[in-house]
């Protein structure tokens, strides 16, 4: 077996920071946007379907030239690999500014379409000459009431980096430089958090305390960052007319507020399910009281070490269960060095998949060899498959919403579990089932608790102007308790994990995890019953952003608008808990 590549080959984008193609691409983008501005700004291009169709085609041609902001992403990805890469950090900022200025030249375009009177909007949506752009137009019409003037939109775009992006970058850089002292070693925070649950009780309590000590020690910056970006959002929401802190996110993810509110309310009212599981978790761990460091601990050891080569083999076999094309895509990623595997100092924590039009997709991991690392690989490749298959759509539909993204990733994780079971003993399979339910606790109940935390924090900052790090930590502790229940003893110090919680910086992103997980459970059950449903899975992945999430799922037999739909998913989790209780009572 040939050695697997484990570091990104960013020469797939550019040879180096000195590659003359970077400047050529930037110039080509700037010129293309200037030409588009001259051709259409102040001109009539919305009075007929023929004119509008041509204008949209020309607008989409800009995305071909833009190539997903490649001159920015090359340096952003380099910076994620090494936060000390000062060249990458500076170039990412300066190139982003140039690309933002270029995009600002066409801010008028969406605004002009948004101003089309509503009676005329309906006619255009039913015009066959615009059939290829029907959903594209519908999204703009839905956003219309929240758009600002052209000058304000340009200013908003320019302020997004200093008002939001640079704060996030600063926080990430600070975190990436931190290490935790543990057993004579200095561990990067991502590595320390990833091994926490695998350590013996005494050791993990020590490691947990060291983590909270490091996080609370740098919380002064997080306090300033959170207050700055939350106030920035407040200003923009008020200016645009969004009534609720999460309204902008729900609109951006192309969901409807009623569905999201129903999901959040239903899961919150059913925190009793997570309380029940964690009481069982406490019993199985034989502890009188659990601390936060016990949250992700397995009830037994799965001693097998899943080095990356072994993880790759398992994941390939899982993907083969669905369709060989997924194996082929995965192998291409490995061969082309599009996956960066191991943690190191300065590297961004966690895991993600990043992709764009007319360029390779990249996956970042922090693989440590435990069983969770295998699940993360399957999860991120789920995103990668979604990204790659969406490229079959016209360029204006190649993106997809965050809510559908999390459905794709969690589906592939569930298929992986079937393959993992083959590697395990009977006792280990019980551990795997426990881990699966524990994953549901994190993906559904924990994320909704975080949604509630975010909402209360946004409202508090909007009311008071500024909130101290101590208050933020206290609020975090409150919402941790809400879903963990009486099995846990949560301290105010535990609340300092808000410093490390990246998703609270992506305002209300967390609901998409619960949304995606509950839908992926439905997809998984349908696929288990009928393996030919894999064609529907592929249909969903290829849909990209050509329809709303609701319509995409409806097209493959899943009705998310039914108020009872999410309740069905919660009931299936309770059945898993029932099964676990029976297995451990034998």
Q: Which 3-state string (H, E, C) describes 373-412?
A: HHHHHHHHHHHHHHHHHHCCCCHHHCCCCHHHHHHHHHHH
Question: 313 and 289, same structural domain?
Answer: no
Q: What confidence category does residue 66 fall into, taking pLDDT thresholds of 50, 70 and 90?
A: confident
- CB proximity list for 12: less than 8 A, separation 6 or greater: 336, 337, 338, 359, 360
Do 181 and 326 lie in a common domain? no
Residue 520 shares a structural domain with residue 407: yes
Bridge partners of residue 488, in order along the sequence: 290
Q: Is position 404 within any domain?
A: yes
Helices and strands (DSSP H and E) totals, the chain: 26, 5
HSE at residue 455, side-chain half, CA atoms within 13 A, is 18
| pLDDT tens digits along 516-562 | 999 998 899 899 999 999 999 999 999 999 999 999 999 999 998 88
* Band of residue 198 on the pLDDT scale cut at 50, 70, 90: confident
**CATH classification of the domain holding 155:** 1.20.140.70
Distance, in Å, from the CA atom of 283 to the CA atom of 272, rounded to the nearest integer, reads 17
322 and 283 fall within a common domain: no
- Residue 45 predicted with pLDDT over 70: yes
pLDDT tens figures, 219-250: 999 999 999 999 999 999 999 999 999 999 99
Has residue 25 got a pLDDT over 80? yes
Based on the domain organization, do 521 and 378 belong to the same domain? Answer: yes
**Residue 5 in domain:** no
Q: Is 499 found in the same domain as 370?
A: no
Q: Rounded distance, CA 321 to CA 330, Å?
A: 14
Residues 436-454: what's their mean pLDDT? 96
179 vs 520: CA distance, rounded Å: 36
The CATH number linked to 446 is 1.10.1370.20
Per-residue pLDDT of 267-310, as tens digits, reads 999 999 999 999 999 999 999 999 999 999 988 888 788 999 99
Number of domains the chain is built from: 3
Task: Give the model's pLDDT for residue 42.
Answer: 95
Tokens representing 124 are: 């255009």
- What domain range is 358 assigned to? 308-425+515-562
pLDDT at 426: 86
Tell me the pLDDT of the chain averaged across its residues: 94
Domain C-terminal end among 148, 166, 184 = 166
Tokens of 434: 């426990």
Q: 77 and 175 share a domain?
A: no
Q: What pLDDT, on a 0 to 100 scale, did the predictor assign at position 68?
A: 79
**Chain center to CA of 166:** 19
Q: Which residue has the higher pLDDT, 301 or 106?
A: 106
Q: Which has the closest alpha carbon to 150: 105, 195, 86?
A: 105
- On the question of pLDDT at 569 being above 70, the answer is yes
Mapping DSSP onto H, E and C, the string for 96-154 reads HHHHHHHHHCCHHHHHHHHCCCHHHHHHHHCCHHHHHHHHHHHHHHHHHHHCCCHHHHH
What pLDDT, in 10s, does the model give residues 111-143?
Answer: 999 999 999 999 999 999 999 999 999 999 999
If you average pLDDT over residues 360-380, what whole number do you get? 94
If asked whether residues 361 and 406 sit together in one domain, one would say: yes
Among residues of the chain, what percentage have pLDDT more than 90? 83
Q: Are residues 313 and 386 in the same domain?
A: yes
Average pLDDT rounded to a whole number, residues 374-400 = 95
Report whether pLDDT(563) > 80. Answer: no
Residue 533 belongs to domain with CATH number: 1.10.1370.40
- What is the pLDDT averaged over residues 378-406? 93
Residue 341 in any domain: the answer is: yes
Kindly indicate the confidence band of residue 174, based on its pLDDT and cuts at 50, 70 and 90.
Answer: very high
Q: Is residue 401 part of a domain?
A: yes
**575 within domain boundaries:** no
The closest alpha carbon to 519, from 385, 402, 404, belongs to 404
Based on the domain organization, do 288 and 312 belong to the same domain?
no
Helices 308-322 and 402-422 pack at an angle, to 10 degrees, of: 110
Tokens of 356: 């764009």
Question: Are 367 and 342 within 8 A, CB to CB?
Answer: yes
Q: Looking at the domain assignment, is residue 552 inside a domain? A: yes
Say what the pLDDT of residue 1 is: 58
Element (H, E) at 179: strand 179-182
For residue 177, is it within any domain?
A: yes
pLDDT at position 403 over 90? no
Q: How far apart are CA 571 and CA 446, in angstroms?
A: 17
Cα–Cα distance, 411 to 380 (Å, whole number): 11
Residues 420 and 448 in one domain: no
* Boundary (domain end) residue, out of 124, 149, 166: 166
- pLDDT tens column, 452-481: 999 999 999 999 999 999 999 999 999 999
Do 249 and 337 lie in one domain? The reply is no
Does a structural domain hold residue 368?
A: yes
Per-residue pLDDT, 365: 97
What integer is the mean pLDDT of 154-167? 91
Domain termination site, one of 166, 187, 219: 166
Average pLDDT over residues 53-78: 93
């Amino acid at each position: 077996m040939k050695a697997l590549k484990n570091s990104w080959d960013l020469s797939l984008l550019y040879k180096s920071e000195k590659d003359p193609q970077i400047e050529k691409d930037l110039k080509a983008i700037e010129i293309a946007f200037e030409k588009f501005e001259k051709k259409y700004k102040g001109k009539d291009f919305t009075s007929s379907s023929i004119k509008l169709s041509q204008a949209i085609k020309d607008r989409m041609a800009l995305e071909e030239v833009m190539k997903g902001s490649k001159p920015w992403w090359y340096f952003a990805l380099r910076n994620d690999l090494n936060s000390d890469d000062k060249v990458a950090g500076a170039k990412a900022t300066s190139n982003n500014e140039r690309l933002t200025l270029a995009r600002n030249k066409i801010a008028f375009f969406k605004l002009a379409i948004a101003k089309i009177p509503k009676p005329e909007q309906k006619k255009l949506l039913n015009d066959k000459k615009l059939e290829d752009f029907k959903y594209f137009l519908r999204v703009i019409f839905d956003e219309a009431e929240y758009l600002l003037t052209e000058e304000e939109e340009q200013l908003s775009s320019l302020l997004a980096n200093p008002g939001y992006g640079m704060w996030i970058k600063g926080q990430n850089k600070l975190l990436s430089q931190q290490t935790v002292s543990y057993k004579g070693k200095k561990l990067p925070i991502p590595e320390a958090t990833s091994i926490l649950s695998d350590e013996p009780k005494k050791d993990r309590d020590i490691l947990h305390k060291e983590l909270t000590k490091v996080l609370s020690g740098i919380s002064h910056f997080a306090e300033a960052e959170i207050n700055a970006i939350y106030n920035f959002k407040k200003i923009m929401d008020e200016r645009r007319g969004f009534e609720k802190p999460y309204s902008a996110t729900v609109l951006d993810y192309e969901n409807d507020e009623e569905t999201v509110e129903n999901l959040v309310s239903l899961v919150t009212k059913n925190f009793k399910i997570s309380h029940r599981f964690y009481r069982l978790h406490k019993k199985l761990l034989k502890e009188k009281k659990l601390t936060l460091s016990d949250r992700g601990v397995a009830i037994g050891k799965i001693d097998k070490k899943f080095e990356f080569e072994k993880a790759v083999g398992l994941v390939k076999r899982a993907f083969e269960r669905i369709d060989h094309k997924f194996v082929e895509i995965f192998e291409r990623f490995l061969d082309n060095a599009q996956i960066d595997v191991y943690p190191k100092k300065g590297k961004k924590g966690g895991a993600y998949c990043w992709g764009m039009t007319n360029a390779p997709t990249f996956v970042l991991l922090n693989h440590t060899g435990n069983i969770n690392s295998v699940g993360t690989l399957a999860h991120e490749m789920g995103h990668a498959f979604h990204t790659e298959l969406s490229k079959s759509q016209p360029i204006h539909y190649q993106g997809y919403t965050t809510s559908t993204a999390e459905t794709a990733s969690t589906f592939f994780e569930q298929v992986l579990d079937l393959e993992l079971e083959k590697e395990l003993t009977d006792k280990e399979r019980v551990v795997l089932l426990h881990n699966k339910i524990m994953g549901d606790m994190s993906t559904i109940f924990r994320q909704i608790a975080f949604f509630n935390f975010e909402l209360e924090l946004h409202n508090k900052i909007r009311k008071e102007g500024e909130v101290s790090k101590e208050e933020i930590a206290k609020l975090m502790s409150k919402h941790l308790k809400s879903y963990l229940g009486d099995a846990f003893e949560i301290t105010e110090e535990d609340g300092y994990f808000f410093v490390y919680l990246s998703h609270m910086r992506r305002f209300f992103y967390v609901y998409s995890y619960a949304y995606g997980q509950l839908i992926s459970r439905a997809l998984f059950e349908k696929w288990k019953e009928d393996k030919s449903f894999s064609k529907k899975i592929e249909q969903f992945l290829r849909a990209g952003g050509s329809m709303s999430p609701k319509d995409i799922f409806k097209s493959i037999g899943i009705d998310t608008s039914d108020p009872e739909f999410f309740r069905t998913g919660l009931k299936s989790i309770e059945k898993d808990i029932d099964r676990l209780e029976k297995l451990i009572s034998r």
